[in-house]
Chain A
Amino acid sequence: MNNEIGTLLTLAGYFALLSLFAIGGANAALPEMHRLAVEVMHWMNDRQFADMYAIAQVTPGPNVIVVTLIGYHVAGLLGAFVATLAMCGPTCVFAFFMGQVWDRFKDAPWRIAIQAALVPVSIGLIGASAAVIARAAAQSWMAVAVTVVTAVVTYTVRVNPLWIFAGAALLGLGGLI
């Protein structure tokens, strides 16, 4: 029982803190989620982490929903609630109050400087997320090939990614990955 509460507190404190470092959206925090869940806490292995990210990607809705799956995996329904709330709560409160004062400083030089400074950080973090998730998903050479082909196709052609996911699922079903 104590252990369960301890786990929930870990989830809550951890995701609440992480949300403040998610510069550029929930996906920017993916490397840190991977580091904690796989490397530090050993809640899951690389394959499971990649699976959860995949499930979150095929579920419609915001990217942040991967946090729900991690919470569920670690501590059941309550874990899912706690992790989601922790990841969204602090920044929602922040957004609620910032919305009221935004007008006053939206044109302030310091705000523009901060935003300009955060853009390259968020780009670097998304790149880092891509590197971490690509490594976690690289269970075979064929899987690496699927990652590369998907990256090239979705970068160059405007296509609904669901089709590519369906194709990759079929390849997996056929035992090719």
Chain B
Amino acid sequence: MSETTPVPVPPTSIGRNPIAPKRLELFIAFALISLSGFGGVLYWSRRMMVDERKWMTAEEFNEAYALCNFLPGPNIVNFSVVFGRQVGGTAGALVALLGLLGPPFLLVMLLGLLYAYYGDIAVLQRVLAGVAAAAAGLTVSTGLKMAGPLLRQRPGIAHAVAMAAFLAVGVLQWPIYWVLGVLIPCSIALAWRMRR
């Protein structure tokens, strides 16, 4: 007799929150995160999930995000699946994923279509050359910011690992598979030994 459709909450530690979203709400929330998520979807997802909708506590968010950082692949995409599953099972995971990827997919297809037709026009090429140079600069500063905590530590194994990945993939442009196939096991072995 309740006014809202009850959504079953699987018994896991994250998403114990009593306020479980409906599927449409879930879709809209992730679509909004995606569309406002210019320059860092993480910031917007925390704001939406924790501050605005109160679907998660800050601790639950950190926990889910730690998991998504642990997994390979697009982090925020993983996050939508993890959170969607916790509040709405398989359907919830699909709905959150579609909300996150659907709108930008359509937008970028539109831009891709325009690029395919007009990309060779001189004016557009000049504009894009400018934006591309700026986008590259933004990536450089993101990289520097990420390296910040490492740079403040005393030089050690982590620095060697980061430098090796940078040189092999970024400068020598070796295939990522061979580089990581060697580097990750070495890095894990060293991290395991450092632990003791």
Q: Do A and B bind each other?
A: yes
A-side residues, CB < 8 A to B, are 17-27, 29, 31-32, 35, 39, 47-48, 50-65, 68-69, 72-73, 77, 80, 84, 87-88, 90-92, 94-96, 98-100, 102-103, 106, 109-134, 136-140, 143-144, 146-152, 154-155, 160-162, 164-165, 167-173, 175, 177
Q: Are B36 and A60 in contact (CB under 8 A)?
A: yes
Complex Cα distance, B111 from A59, in Å, reads: 9
Size bracket, chain B contacts? 35 or more
Question: A118-B184, A124-B165 in contact; A53/B73 too (CB < 8 A)?
Answer: no
Q: How far is the CA of A147 from the CA of B130 in the complex (A)?
A: 9
In the complex, which residue of chain A has the Cβ closest to the Cβ of B44? A60
B138 touching A92 by the CB < 8 A rule? no
Report how far A121 CA is from B73 CA in the complex, Å: 14
The answer to whether B81 touches A56, judged by C-beta atoms less than 8 angstroms apart, is no
**Could you tell me if A61 and B39 are in contact, using CB atoms closer than 8 angstroms?**
no
- Complex formed: what's the CA distance from A95 to B88 in Å? 15
CB pair A21 B180 closer than 8 Å: yes
Residues of B within 8 A of A (CB): 10, 12-14, 34-39, 41, 63-64, 66-78, 81-82, 85-86, 90, 93, 97, 100-101, 103-105, 107-109, 111-113, 115-116, 119, 123, 125-147, 150, 157-159, 161-166, 168-171, 173, 175-177, 180, 183-184, 187-188, 190-192, 194-195
Pairs A-B, 3 closest by C-beta atoms: A150-B137, A61-B104, A124-B165
CB distance A98 to B37 under 8 Å? no
CB-CB under 8 A from B10, the residues of chain A are 100
A110–B115 CA distance with the chains assembled, in angstroms: 47
Q: Is the CB of A54 within 8 A of B132?
A: yes
> Can you give 29 A-B contacts (C-beta < 8 A)?
A31-B169, A51-B132, A59-B107, A62-B37, A63-B74, A68-B109, A91-B74, A92-B73, A99-B81, A100-B85, A102-B63, A117-B190, A119-B158, A120-B161, A120-B187, A125-B166, A130-B170, A134-B137, A139-B132, A146-B130, A147-B134, A147-B140, A149-B137, A151-B144, A155-B141, A161-B38, A161-B39, A169-B127, A171-B130
**B130 and A168 contact, CB distance less than 8 A:** yes
Whole-angstrom CA separation of A27 from B147 in the bound complex: 15
Once the chains are docked, how many angstroms separate the CA of A61 from the CA of B38? 6
B112 A124 Cβ-Cβ under 8 A = no
Contact: A114 with B35, CB < 8 Å? no
Contacting pair A25 B75 (CB below 8 A): yes
Interchain CB contact (< 8 A) of A131 among B35, B85, B166: B166
Contact B104 A120 (CB under 8 A): no
CB distance from B171 to the nearest CB of A (A): 6
Known contacts A106-B66, A114-B191, A120-B150; A26 and B130 CB within 8 A of each other: no
Report the separation of the CA atoms of residues A52 and B146 in the bound assembly, to the nearest whole angstrom: 23
Inter-chain contact B138/A151, CB cutoff 8 Å: yes
Closest to B119 in A: A51
Q: Which of A61, A98, A112, A132 counts the most chain B CB atoms within 10 A? A: A61
